[in-house]
Structure 1
């Protein structure tokens, strides 16, 4: 990145697109139209675009259903009984794990609840949970209800970490210091991998190490990190994680989630869990007998049978990820987001209209930049949308922009720069 001298010019942006080895993937996606033109779509952190091949992947399973009916569970190229296995290599590569440590299933908050059953087991004074203040509401609700399920008071048990006065993001040393301070009362650290509002990428390795030093579990909600930031969950010794597939994984609105469970728990049948038929030993599943025997690895946390049509849409995007390569996507992402940051700073200057609150270091963020709006409020966001920019407004006054490396271009970022330049005349 340091070797690139960014320029606010269309020629520069187009030259960067010509040099981009991933530029062709843009043609694999369908873009919405605004005022008759393709949108400048910076909202992959809320919902990724639809791959053009998604329909064909779903149609294939619909055809199998029409031709095979119930026999599709055991016949055909991707027999439904085992269809979850197809997504495992891509998921494992994206999160930095072994294939037996991951499985696609359920939805994010459902998975979080199932994992908390296993990894939040308060005993005596060891009953505290550490999370970031202002975590995504679904995480807050899940933690609150799990604490109440154990007969405890969320106000006494949940320890929320807020940035220092005058700052927008958490310092890693403050997180670790709090873990050490809570000490032997800590049962679990459960945070977002990337904070949805600020866009901060947490140091998951250091946080996990700190939690383990005092014998607490550590898990992450990777909704905004999955397919966006570099992950090495196995090597970091993270205990568990879950994510959604409809943001950067481009698998469709509300589509299937997935989980990671570290292999040290792969055969721990004594670990508490809410069991279901599809998590039972595959070789004995159809004996239909009492006595739950969990499958090896993350598969043992499955409850219901696989959602075949959801997995088909999921696979359409995962195949693109494997072709592009998560490391290649990350490399482009740092440069693309860096260009957006450069344009915002150069154009907005001392106007006082907006402030980037996402960390400046690429190692502390994904592709999202969160902009604090000091003048104009939501009218700024609405004006950008009217000119073709699809971003995300978050109350009270933040616009989130996510130039996604799989399908966004440098020209997209340049065109946004022109729109930003125009809007400053209105709101500065």
Structure 2
């Protein structure tokens, strides 16, 4: 498509957008009586309007049924997580049995590593991306120490080449092959939080399996953002938060994926709790842990009903939108338009004030454009916020802008570019 840098063109794209009505399903924050252009869905998604109704239903059950709500009412809490599983599966390319909503992201990462990081003498290394989100770094560091290794000897970080901002798939594959049978686990993010790079998850999984390693992913910035086929890609395990692209509210409940090939593996360790016990026998309260078949067997504590209600509300919006594929089409156009607008700004400024570090290849990015501001980046970012454009600032000089296809428009992208140019001209 030949883009144009004018309001009329952006509005024509919005008028032709089959998903444009979903914008009205969300609540936007306001400042000085005007709604923000919200470009921070990669940190916290907007609130779906239907949330209040879905949560009120559970508050009513608590009010009217109290403890009997676990077994009575339209959606007994004992089985409430199953309502979510049916919608989570299509979102990540898995069966309902392979996914489960529970806990929070890093808690789930630890629980899954208990099962799938099984270091042996000579095979104990973990390969991960350099610059992974700090929580992942801390989780991995503590896990290897728990097993008696030092992070320096056990963790191999794959970094971009000198002068580059993103990883090359062949470099990841080469590192995996280099360490070969020393590798116990390959653990990557699906989408890098800083650059917005979407890794070739299928290729990384194949490379890890080729050397006999387990392969897992943190999908915090991928689930609900890019098309995933966790089962078909033969990924061993994954986990994600749901409060970014999946709009489940601050600190929203996490999700896990365990490939069905592991369901009958009795050698897997796990930190067990009674909610992961076989459902049909759970209330016999007997000794000896007998896990439920599937991802549900990794549950520890009982269903977190209210956080799950928030998540269910958003999953219902995804279902109405046709899950990820239609959103992905729009997402590619939104980010491509933002690439074009940034390029137009640089041309008008007659210098490369803004360097995009998100991959230009649409198959290597999600709904995020990260830009390095060469001069006065923090002041420019603060100027955007003062003018009702809310993105995200990352030290030392990166502005992350995330046009989310469920609720962002092409006009949002155009007006952001217009303000970015005006603000930059005034202070640089």
The TM-score with structure 1 as length reference comes to: 0.98
Aligned to 1:116: 113
SS of structure 1 residue aligned to 2:335: helix
Instruction: Quote the Cα distance in structure 1 between the aligned partners of 2:338 and 2:423.
Output: 16
Instruction: Quote the Cα distance in structure 2 between the aligned partners of 1:270 and 1:70.
Output: 37
CA shift, 1:56, in A, is: 1.0
Aligned to 1:181: 178
SS of structure 1 residue aligned to 2:136: helix
Instruction: Quote the Cα distance in structure 2 between the aligned partners of 1:94 and 1:60.
Output: 24
Per-residue Cα deviation, 1:332-373 (whole angstroms, up to 9, x for no partner): 100111111111111223423210000001100001011011
Instruction: Quote the Cα distance in structure 1 between the aligned partners of 2:107 and 2:246.
Output: 18
Instruction: Quote the Cα distance in structure 2 between the aligned partners of 1:160 and 1:61.
Output: 44
CA shift, 1:424, in A, is: 2.8
The runs of 4+ residues in structure 1 deviating greater than 6 Å are: none
Aligned to 2:343: 345
Aligned to 2:150: 153
CA shift, 1:269, in A, is: 2.9
Q: Is the 8 A contact 1:353 1:376 kept in 2?
A: no
- Which one of the candidate residues 154, 157, 160 is aligned to 1:163? 160
SS of structure 2 residue aligned to 1:306: coil
Aligned to 2:411: 411
Unaligned stretches of 5+ in structure 2? none
Check if 1:203 corresponds to 2:200. Answer: yes
Aligned to 1:331: 329
Aligned to 1:266: 263
Instruction: Quote the Cα distance in structure 2 between the aligned partners of 1:34 and 1:172.
Output: 42
Q: Is the 8 A contact 1:47 1:248 kept in 2?
A: yes
CA shift, 1:52, in A, is: 0.8
Q: Is the 8 A contact 1:394 1:400 kept in 2?
A: yes
CA shift, 1:55, in A, is: 1.0
SS of structure 1 residue aligned to 2:352: coil
Aligned to 2:18: 21
Per-residue Cα deviation, 1:388-418 (whole angstroms, up to 9, x for no partner): 1100001111110000000001111111121
Instruction: Quote the Cα distance in structure 2 between the aligned partners of 1:130 and 1:62.
Output: 45
Check if 1:137 corresponds to 2:159. Answer: no
Instruction: Quote the Cα distance in structure 1 between the aligned partners of 2:320 and 2:54.
Output: 16
Instruction: Quote the Cα distance in structure 2 between the aligned partners of 1:222 and 1:35.
Output: 36
Q: Is the 8 A contact 2:380 2:420 kept in 1?
A: no
Q: Is the 8 A contact 1:100 1:299 kept in 2?
A: yes
CA shift, 1:268, in A, is: 2.0
Q: Is the 8 A contact 1:343 1:417 kept in 2?
A: yes
Equivalent residues in 2 for 1:222-371, closer than 5 Å: 222-325=219-322, 326-349=324-347, 350-371=350-371
Per-residue Cα deviation, 1:297-337 (whole angstroms, up to 9, x for no partner): 10110000110011111111000000102110011100111
**RMSD after superposition:** 0.8
SS of structure 2 residue aligned to 1:371: strand
Check if 1:69 corresponds to 2:58. Answer: no
> How many pairs were matched up?
425
Q: Is the 8 A contact 1:353 1:427 kept in 2?
A: no
Q: Is the 8 A contact 1:352 1:375 kept in 2?
A: no
CA shift, 1:155, in A, is: 0.9
CA shift, 1:427, in A, is: 4.2
